[in-house]
């Protein structure tokens, strides 16, 4: 098998507050191969967001390697903007730009980061909006959209730059239960197209459907990993069993 | 949650981590060096341009005469004391009345409607008319009314004009602050049983004032500076004292002395305000939020 697209090796991250040091990522090893969908599960505070933010270089790690396409992007001499332009992170709270129409949210990076012409960027953006079922909202402002629509727009914005890897941080947690389905359906479709994804989620049914690998994070360490059937149906570790019991 | 550090945590940085730290330090050193060199360069250019100007020798004599500076310092400093008192009084009155006006203006109590209209008119007028004009109108207009109870000293009238204008500015700032508090905060307060006044006083205003501390404080700085305008009414403040000292010999050093004295107050004040507002923003309370750090 060829090298995975993304490899984390012994990644460590601490937060210092008021003199105490909290180890939030404690020796993480993780691989995401191309066209694979890896799902992170774990209780709130287990370090899922920190891990995704570290991969997107929004936070520096203390130690370890984050290798993307053969390059250790944790090294501070690597051009972080270039790395981030190849990745896309979708946040729990959408983080659409409220002053821009949906279409302009989508064309912002293609035009200003990737130097696309406006007409081309808009054509791509409209195609992407059609794919997520939002072509009729292209001219609307984010606050005129429902939560599910906003999140789908945010995913479209992430995808329109053709990222090598899509990072998703609990993208359904802020949504009404009734709106969760439309977002998960979209992600399932993306997985079927072969989009490489690293996903943090609390939706176990969804994890079971889409994951090639499920990774259980507990107190900054990976306690268990495997296929959905292995981790979700036959968990070996007591921490995993406890976690799964609680969220059922 | 992860474990706490101390004896439990036996992490020693890898060679890789140490190399990264060293790289970041070197980057930091280089940034400092660049800042230093850039500063020296700018200073050198300014000094060169000024000192090689054809009129430099004469200008130095007329504006930067050390003996003259020492001679006039006591008078100008005495004048500055007046500026300082005007500043303190106008600040206190402006802040308190401004806040009251803002509350009246944003309240929805029907009985306050006429007062609300008055507030709107007052703010519109005093925010829209140049301070200089207000000074002239108050300074020369009010004494013409010959009200026996009204003090007519230039310092009082000048201070009054400044208070009138700045109260309007502060009222606008506080109104913006009140309107920036999310309505859900009022709902939450009212649903706990607080009445309208309590919700305003205990929930809305504390947040409103916090939200506008930075603009209000920078308004205080500019008030300090504008307190010098009372000199046009003849009040002997720092500027007027300097002006008196220049008549006769055409040496303008007293103005420079007055300028330096104003800076001696306003620069520390500005730094104080900056430090305060930094505590509020990305470097302060929001610093703990993900995304507030420096991105590489
Ligand atoms: N900026 C920060 N400063 C201090 N502690 C933080 C910060 N961000 C996250 N943490 C802590 O790190 C731990 C993991 O947080 P997070 O990665 O957000 O967990 P998850 O996404 O799995 O819920 C939590 O205990 C949290 O309090
Ligand atoms: Mg999280």
Of A158, A156, A205, A152, give the one whose Cα is nearest residue A183.
A152
B11 to A12: CB separation less than 8 angstroms, yes or no = yes
Phi, psi dihedral angles at A5 (to 5 degrees) = -65, -45
Å from B25 to nearest chain A CA? 11
B107 belongs to a structural domain: yes
* B249's tokens: 């010999």
Residue B5 confidence (pLDDT): 45
Calpha distance A133→A115 (Å, rounded):
26
Ligand 1 probe mutation, A12, A13, A14, A15, most atoms within 8 A of CB? A15
**Closest atom of ligand 1 to CA, residue B292:** 1
pLDDT at A23: 94
Per-residue pLDDT of chain A (248 residues; tens, 9 = 90+): 578 999 999 999 999 888 889 999 999 999 999 999 999 999 999 999 999 999 999 889 999 999 999 999 999 999 988 898 899 999 888 788 888 999 999 999 889 888 899 999 999 999 999 999 999 999 999 989 999 999 999 999 999 988 999 999 999 988 888 888 988 999 999 999 999 999 999 999 999 999 999 999 999 999 999 999 999 999 999 999 999 999 87
Q: Is position A77 within any domain?
A: yes
Residue B291 confidence class, pLDDT cut points 50, 70, 90: low
- Ligand 1 centre distance from Cα of residue B56 (Å): 61
Amino acid A245: pLDDT: 93
Domains held by chain A: number: 1
Q: Is residue B246 part of a domain?
A: yes
From A128, A137, A139, A168, select the one nearest A32 (Cα to Cα): A168
CATH number for the domain harbouring residue A220: 3.40.50.300
Classify residue B7 by its DSSP letter: T
Q: Mean pLDDT of all residues in chain B?
A: 88
Q: Tell me what pLDDT residue B292 has.
A: 61
Residue nearest to atom 25 of ligand 1 (CA): A45
Overall size of chain A counted in residues: 248
Average pLDDT on B9-29 reads 92
Torsion on CA atoms B234, B84, B263, B154, rounded to nearest 10 = -10
Integer CA distances (angstroms), A133 to A81, A146, B7, B292, B296, in order:
30, 13, 55, 33, 35
On the question of pLDDT at B164 being above 50, the answer is yes
For residue A180, the enclosing domain spans: 6-97+164-247
Q: Do the beta carbons of residue A158 and residue A90 sit within 8 Å?
A: yes
The CATH number covering residue B118 comes to 1.10.3720.10
Banded model confidence at residue B36, pLDDT cuts 50, 70, 90: very high
* Chain A residues whose beta carbon lies within 8 Å of the beta carbon of residue B11: 12, 23, 62-63
The verdict on residue B52 lying in a domain is no
pLDDT tens digits for range B220-275: 989 999 999 999 998 899 999 999 988 878 889 999 999 999 998 888 888 887 78
Q: What does the alpha-carbon distance between residue B194 and residue B179 come to, in Å, rounded to a whole number?
A: 19
Domain span holding position B256: 66-281
pLDDT in tens, A164-194: 999 999 999 888 888 889 889 999 999 999 9
Q: Is residue A79, in this structure, part of any structural domain at all? A: yes
Residue-level pLDDT at A106: 94
Ligand nearest to the CA of A218: 1
Chain A residue closest in CA terms to B13: A63
**pLDDT in the model for residue A32:** 97
Per the structure, the count of domains in chain B is 1
DSSP string, B100-148: HHHHHHH---GGGHHHHHHHHHHHHHHHHS-HHHHHHIIIIIHHHT--T
Question: Three-state SS for A240?
Answer: helix
A64 shares contact with chain B (CB less than 8 Å): yes
What are the C-alpha distances in Å from A99 to residues A110, A142, B30, B211? Answer: 18, 8, 37, 21
At residue B213 the predicted structure's pLDDT band, cuts being 50, 70 and 90, is confident
Neighbours of A200 (CB within 10 A): 23
| pLDDT at res. B3 | 47
Nearest of B222, B113, B136, B114 to residue B173 by alpha carbon: B222
Calculate how far, in angstroms, residue B2's C-alpha sits from the geometric centre of ligand 1.
10
Q: How many CB atoms lie within 10 A of CB A101?
A: 16
Q: Which atom of ligand 1 is nearest to the CA of A59?
A: 1
DSSP category for residue A142: G
Q: Is the pLDDT of residue B282 over 70?
A: no
pLDDT tens digits, one per residue of B115-163: 999 999 999 999 999 999 999 999 999 888 888 888 889 999 999 999 9
Q: At what angle do helices B56-63 and B253-280 cross, to 10 degrees?
A: 80
B4–A57 C-beta distance less than 8 A:
no
The per-residue pLDDT for range B86-99, each reduced to its tens digit, is 999 999 999 999 99
| Residue B12 φ/ψ, nearest 5 degrees | -120, 135
Whether the CB-CB separation of A67 and A29 falls below 8 Å is answered with no
Strands A6-17 and A87-90: unpaired
In a domain, B54, yes or no: no
Is B9–A60 a contact, with Cβ atoms under 8 angstroms apart? no
Instruction: Give, for ligand 1, the residue of A11, A26, A50, A168 to mutate: max count of ligand atoms closer than 8 Å to Cβ.
Output: A50
Find which of A12, A17, A21 to mutate to test the B interface (most B CBs within 10 Å of its CB): A21
Q: What number does the ligand 1 atom closest to the CA of A170 have?
A: 21
Question: Residue B58 domain-assigned?
Answer: no
Give the model's pLDDT for residue B293: 62
Give the atom of ligand 1 at the shortest distance from the alpha carbon of B288: 1
> How far is CA A130 from its chain centroid?
22
Residue B49 belongs to a domain:
no
Do the domain assignments include residue B247?
yes
Residues of B in contact with A22 (CB under 8 A): 1-2, 4-5
């Amino acid at each position: 098998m060829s090298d995975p697209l993304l490899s984390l090796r012994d990644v460590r991250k601490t937060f210092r507050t008021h003199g105490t040091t909290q180890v939030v990522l404690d020796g993480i090893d993780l691989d995401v191969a191309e066209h694979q969908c890896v799902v992170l599960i774990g209780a709130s505070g287990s370090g899922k967001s920190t891990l995704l933010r570290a991969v997107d270089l929004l936070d520096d790690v203390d130690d370890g390697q984050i290798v993307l396409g053969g390059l250790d992007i944790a090294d501070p001499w690597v051009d972080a903007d270039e790395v981030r332009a190849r990745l896309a992170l979708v946040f729990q709270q959408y983080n659409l730009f409220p002053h821009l129409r949906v279409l302009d949210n989508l064309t912002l990076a293609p035009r200003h980061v990737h130097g696309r012409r406006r007409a081309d960027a808009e054509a791509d953006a409209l195609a992407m909006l059609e794919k997520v079922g939002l072509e009729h909202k292209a001219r609307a402002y984010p606050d005129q959209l429902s939560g599910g629509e906003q999140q789908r727009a945010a995913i479209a914005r992430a995808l329109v730059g053709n990222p090598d890897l899509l990072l998703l941080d609990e993208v359904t947690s802020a949504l009404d239960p009734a709106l969760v389905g439309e977002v998960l359906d979209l992600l399932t479709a993306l997985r079927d197209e072969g989009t490489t994804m690293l996903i943090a989620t609390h939706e176990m049914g969804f994890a079971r459907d889409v994951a090639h690998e499920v990774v259980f994070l507990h107190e900054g360490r990976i306690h268990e990993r495997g296929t959905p059937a292995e981790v979700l149906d036959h968990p070996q570790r007591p921490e995993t069993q406890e976690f799964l019991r609680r969220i059922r | 949650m992860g474990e706490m550090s101390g004896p439990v945590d036996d992490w020693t940085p890898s060679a890789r981590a140490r190399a990264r730290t060293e790289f970041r330090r070197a980057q930091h050193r280089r940034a400092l060096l660049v800042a230093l060199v850039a500063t020296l360069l700018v200073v050198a250019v300014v000094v060169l341009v000024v000192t090689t100007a054809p009129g430099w020798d004469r200008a130095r004599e007329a504006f930067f005469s050390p003996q003259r500076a020492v001679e006039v310092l006591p008078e100008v400093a005495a004048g500055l004391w007046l500026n300082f008192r005007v500043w303190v009084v106008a600040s206190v009155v402006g802040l308190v009345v401004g806040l009251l006006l803002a509350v009246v203006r944003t309240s929805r109590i029907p009985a306050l409607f006429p007062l609300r209209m008055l507030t709107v008119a007052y703010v519109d007028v005093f925010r829209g008319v140049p301070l200089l004009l207000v000074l002239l109108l108050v300074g020369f207009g009010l004494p013409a009314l010959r009200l026996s109870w009204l003090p007519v000293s230039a310092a009082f009238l000048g201070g009054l004009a400044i208070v009138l204008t700045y109260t309007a500015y502060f009222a606008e700032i506080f109104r913006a602050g009140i309107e920036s508090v999310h309505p859900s905060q009022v709902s939450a307060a009212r649903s706990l049983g607080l009445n309208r006044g309590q919700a305003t006083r205990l929930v809305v205003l504390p947040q409103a004032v916090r939200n506008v501390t930075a603009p209000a404080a920078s308004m205080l700085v500019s008030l300090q500076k504008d307190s010098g305008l009372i000199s046009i009414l003849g009040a002997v403040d720092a500027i007027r004292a300097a002006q008196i000292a220049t008549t006769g010999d055409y040496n303008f050093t007293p103005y420079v002395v007055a300028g330096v004295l104003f800076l001696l107050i306003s620069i520390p004040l500005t730094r104080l305000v900056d430090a305060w507002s930094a505590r509020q923003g990305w470097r302060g309370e929001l610093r703990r939020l993900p995304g507030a750090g420096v991105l590489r």
